[in-house]
Amino acid sequence: MKEYVKKQLERIFAPLAKRRDLDNLFIQLSALLEIKEVIGPGLLFGPLREWALSPDALLIILREVTSRSDPYVLEFGSGESTVAVAAALRARGCGHMVTVEHDAEFAKIVTERLRRNALMKYVDVRVVEMRHFNSRLSPTKYKSYNLANFNVDFNVALIDGPISVFGAETRAIPLEYCLQRLKGDRVIYFDDAARTDERNVLRQYLSDYSHVHVQYLETEKGLARLTDKRNSNRG
């Protein structure tokens, strides 16, 4: 089936796109097909473009979540991935998710999506305010989540927010929050890891955590997988 789809894509789009674009299109469509198998065919699901997690990255997250006997997911930056992970938890029959969002209006939209798909049982949507932080990389301050009174445990974390309009270092705060709790078989996924700003944040903040193993996964926008070196079963 996948080979047939690939040939049809090449036939239709070959005159319009470069080879690497066709390869990426095939990868993303293949990932979407597998995602639908995980979350079920009846789910109302939006496009995974622009700010959203790419299909190939989301598939990696879903595989991680569904491989665990009791997944507890912490997500920074809600959206399509929230709906998909919640559906995977429902299909799995166990686990829970906390998703962090700074925009109260967008949080309402995500909550309504979850409610329409009967997924509220599996997700706690938290609105967390933003504040300014001093940068470790430049003289310019940036904004990120105020996690001073935030206390949520996880075994799978996904950092896909805040978005870069709040400053190049905006994901440093959720990253550090998760790194401080990274032990045993816990895992952190850091999206957009192919971008220069995100790479700089990872490089700077990981220097304080010698026990962390970093694996850069080849997805459309880059995905970093962070695990504890001291855990021999980190994968």
**Is residue 83, in this structure, part of any structural domain at all?**
yes
156 near 65, Cβ under 8 Å? yes
- Distance separating alpha carbons of residues 116 and 87, to the nearest angstrom: 12
**Is residue 18, in this structure, part of any structural domain at all?**
no
Q: Does 235 have pLDDT greater than 70?
A: no
Could you tell me the residue range of the domain that residue 146 belongs to? Answer: 48-228
**Is residue 164, in this structure, part of any structural domain at all?**
yes
Q: Does 208 have pLDDT greater than 50?
A: yes
Q: Mean pLDDT of all residues in the chain?
A: 87
**Is residue 5, in this structure, part of any structural domain at all?**
no
Q: What CATH number did the domain enclosing 196 receive?
A: 3.40.50.150
Q: Does 78 have pLDDT greater than 60?
A: yes
User: Alpha carbon of 193 to those of 12, 66, 86: distances in Å?
Assistant: 31, 23, 24
| Residue 43 pLDDT level (bands cut at 50, 70, 90) | low
Q: Tokens 């933003």 belong to which residue?
A: 130
Alpha-helical regions (H) of the chain: 2-13, 19-39, 55-66, 80-92, 104-116, 172-179, 196-206
**Is residue 1, in this structure, part of any structural domain at all?**
no
- Distance separating alpha carbons of residues 92 and 38, to the nearest angstrom: 9
Check residue 32 and give its pLDDT: 76
Check residue 9 and give its pLDDT: 45
Q: Does 233 have pLDDT greater than 90?
A: no
**Is residue 63, in this structure, part of any structural domain at all?**
yes
32-36, 43-47, 90-94, 120-124: least confident range: 43-47
- Distance separating alpha carbons of residues 36 and 222, to the nearest angstrom: 22
Check residue 48 and give its pLDDT: 47
Q: Does 41 have pLDDT greater than 90?
A: no
**Is residue 98, in this structure, part of any structural domain at all?**
yes
Number of domains in the chain: 1
Q: Are strands 187-191 and 96-101 parallel, antiparallel or unpaired?
A: unpaired
The stretch 93-104 carries a mean pLDDT of: 96
**Is residue 26, in this structure, part of any structural domain at all?**
no
Structure-model confidence comparison of residues 44 and 198, the more confident one: 198
